[in-house]
């Protein structure tokens, strides 16, 4: 049951951090400031999940259980996948929407 006016705890999995760093490292080859903005944007939007994680749409795909993960868009082309378990939000993956990420699902 959603908690009203109480913040959730947001946890970023090691896999999600590694995926974010990989995207930022690739982007830094073109523009270091853009890579920094990507990381800042990720931190900002994932921190905002503490207030209202239910606001984002479900990730819908045949390969995943119905209404298990939500998706959060950030930056210009990136998406984070997360799930809510009781009072904790777990960010589990970060993908570049311009690439084929069906392997992840």
| Whether the Cβ atoms of residue 23 and residue 98 lie closer than 8 Å to each other | no
**Residues whose CB falls within 8 Å of the CB of residue 98, separated by 6 or more in sequence, listed in order:** 77
Does residue 91 fall inside a structural domain? yes
The domain in which residue 75 lies consists of 9-96
Inside any domain, residue 2: no
pLDDT in tens, 38-85: 999 999 999 999 999 999 999 887 777 888 899 999 988 999 999 999
Biggest CA pair distance of the chain = 44
In a domain, 4, yes or no: no
- 37 inside domain: yes
Q: Does some domain include residue 52?
A: yes
In a domain, 33, yes or no: yes
Query: What was the pLDDT predicted at 74?
Result: 95
Q: Is residue 3 a part of any domain in this protein?
A: no
Residue 49: which CATH number?
Answer: 3.30.2310.20
Q: What is the mean pLDDT of residues 24-48?
A: 96
Considering the entire predicted model, what is its pTM?
0.85
Collapsing DSSP to helix, strand or coil, 94 comes out as strand
Give the chain's mean pLDDT: 90
């Amino acid at each position: 049951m959603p908690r009203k006016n109480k913040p959730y705890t947001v946890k970023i999995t090691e896999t999600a951090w590694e995926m974010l760093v990989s995207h930022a490292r690739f982007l830094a080859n073109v523009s270091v400031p853009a890579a920094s903005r990507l990381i800042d944007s990720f931190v900002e939007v994932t921190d905002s999940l503490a207030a209202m994680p239910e606001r984002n749409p479900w990730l819908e795909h045949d390969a995943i259980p119905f209404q298990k993960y939500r998706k959060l868009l950030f930056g210009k082309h990136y998406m984070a996948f997360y799930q809510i378990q009781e009072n904790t939000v777990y960010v589990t993956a970060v993908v570049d929407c311009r690439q084929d990420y069906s392997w992840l699902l």
